[in-house]
Amino acid sequence: MGNNGWNIEVWRIALVIFMSILGGLISAQWLLSLLLCLVVYIAWLLYKLNQLHIWLSKGAKPALLPDSNGIWERVTQKIQLTHKKSDRRKDRMANLLKRLQDIIAGLPYATVVLNGNNEIDWANSLSQEYLNIDIKKDRGQRIDNLIRVPQVHQILAENANKEIEVSFPTDDFGLDKQIALQVIPVGGDLKLLIARDTSERNKINRMRKNFIANASHELRTPLTVIAGYLEIMQEDEEFPKQLQPALHASADQSIRMQRIIEDLLTLSRLENSDLNDTTSNIINVPSILERVYKDESTLIVNDSHKLVKNIDENLKIHGAEAEIISVCSNLVHNAIRHTQDGTMITIEWKLNANNEACLIIKDTGQGIPAEHIAHLTERFYRVDKGRSRETGGTGLGLAIVQHIVQRHNGKFDISSEIGKGSEFKVTFPVSRVYKD
């Protein structure tokens, strides 16, 4: 039977049998004697059971352990062992939770844990500073009652991992504080609301934009004067012959600088203003493309490039006309300037399978190495700086296109294969497509 506590119990049962036989021998009442011994044994068992029950109800503390041996001792030992294990597990979990809370509390973000009803479960200390949420008094409150900003209610309802930026008034100087907010669903019913202060970043961005806008503006007037004088000098027949190459080079460079400044000012305008967008602004893209096609065709000398059109004549969109003209002419102009002679360029304007309006300018040129593609929309990024300058490029055309497309809620994709050509695709969403 092994040393598992039962051997003592067997001895006890043997004692019960022995006592009942002894009682039977003395009294000749065998049944009564057996019954009496069994009653005593059962009463003793019930007493032990009661002791165990009392010990368990008092929290199974080792100090209150009932005095026992045999199987009872084994049972209490097992209970104590299980208790110890679960205590250790509880300690570990509490430690882990504490460490997680410390980590979240130390993040430079305000973090609020919400349940399925958008009620606050937990929040770190930055939540007080950024969102005015004090966990001590706001636990259990619905967050939409505390932050009364419709955009916040919307992202909470959508429960999608999306970031928005909202302005909150600060109490100190009445200045607005810009906060970027993001809802992160974390499985089950839980979600995290994360907020970070973007005021400083926005301020620096504003300063950068203002600086570029002001610098470009300040440079425009003196440059116009210089370019004007250079033009007059070029027309002057008495101008010394030996200085003429230098004069022409200066005039070309001043025109190039004027173009750069105009493009920088265009970019600043795009960055610093919202799209003046009314749904009644219907843009006849087919006629814009027709004009661009005609204008750009005149730039092609000696049939160096072939321009082909494939245009849905009925497809119009809502947007800003001057900006859409700029997108079309920039892309077609690039396809002519940045490809070798013999290149075929296709201008395509159509609805795609998702009913979005697509402008695709495709060429069969030399293509663009893959490592450059992601950078093409950065300001002043050129694959071939020499060629871009030679052809009068400013390095700002694709940055302008990207900005305009973004303002029209569209997508700008560039793909290219070396030796085969490049494709510049602008996709306008269904909401921008004009329906008669």
CB of 358 vs ligand ADP, minimal distance in Å:
17
CB of 327 to ligand ADP, least distance (A): 11
Helix (H) or strand (E) holding 11: helix 6-27
Q: Residue 313 or residue 413: which is nearer to ligand ADP going by CB?
A: 413
Shortest distance in whole angstroms from residue 297 CB to ligand ADP = 17
Alpha helices, DSSP H only, in 273-412? Answer: 285-297, 321-337, 370-373, 385-390, 397-407
Min separation Cβ 359 and ligand ADP, Å: 14
**Shortest Cβ 294–ligand ADP spacing (Å):** 20
Among 36, 348, 384, 433, binds ligand ADP (CB under 6 A): 384
Q: What is the DSSP string of 139-188?
A: TTSBHHHH---HHHHHHHHHT-S-EEEEEEE-TTTS-EEEEEEEEEE-ST
CA 421 from chain center: how many Å? Answer: 33
Q: How far is the CB of 408 from ligand ADP (least distance, A)?
A: 18
Contact string 52-71 vs ligand ADP (x = CB under 6 A): --------------------
CB of 201 to ligand ADP, least distance (A): 26
Total length of the chain: 436
Q: Which amino acid is at 111?
A: T
Q: How many CB atoms lie within 10 A of CB 226?
A: 16
State which residue, 91 or 390, has the beta carbon closest to ligand ADP: 390
CB of 264 to ligand ADP, least distance (A): 12
Residue 305 makes contact with ligand ADP by CB under 6 A = no
Angstrom distance (rounded) from CA 276 to CA 297: 31
Residue number, 296 or 363, with CB nearest to ligand ADP: 363
CA distance 423 to 365: 10
Pick one of 398, 404, 405, 426: the residue that binds ligand ADP (CB under 6 A): 398
Q: How far is the CB of 400 from ligand ADP (least distance, A)?
A: 8
# residues contacting ligand ADP (CB under 6 A): 21
Greatest Cα-to-Cα distance within the chain, rounded to the nearest angstrom: 156
When asked if residue 376 is in the footprint of ligand ADP (CB under 6 A), the reply is yes
Note whether 262 binds ligand ADP by CB under 6 A. no
What's the min distance (Å) between Cβ of 267 and ligand ADP?
11
Binding status of residue 410 toward ligand ADP by CB under 6 A = no
Cβ atoms within 10 Å, residue 372: 14
Q: Does 394 bind ligand ADP (CB under 6 A)?
A: yes
| Piece of 133-141, 158-166, 206-214, 386-394 that binds ligand ADP (CB under 6 A) | 386-394
Task: Give the nearer residue to ligand ADP in terms of CB position, either 79 or 383.
Answer: 383
Distance CA 167, CA 273 (A): 18
Distances (CA, A) of 130 to 110, 147, 181, 186, 196: 7, 11, 10, 22, 7
Stretch that binds ligand ADP, among 51-59, 80-88, 291-299, 387-395 (CB under 6 A): 387-395
Q: Which of 196, 316, 382, 407 binds ligand ADP (CB under 6 A)?
A: 382
Q: Which residues 6+ apart lie within 8 Å of 122 measured at CB?
A: 101, 112, 113, 135, 139
For ligand ADP, which residue of 20, 76, 118, 388 counts as binding (CB under 6 A)?
388
CA pair distance 180, 22, nearest whole angstrom: 90
Collapse the DSSP code of 269 into the 3-class scheme (helix H, G, I; strand E, B; otherwise coil) and give the result: helix
Closest Cα to residue 264, out of 419, 161, 399?
A: 399
- Residues 313-372 binding ligand ADP (CB under 6 A) are 334-335, 338-339, 363, 365, 368
Q: Are 329 and 291 in contact (CB under 8 A)?
A: no
Q: Name which of 289, 306, 288 is nearest 297 in CA terms.
A: 306
Positions touching ligand ADP (CB under 6 A) are 334-335, 338-339, 363, 365, 368, 376, 381-384, 388, 393-399, 422
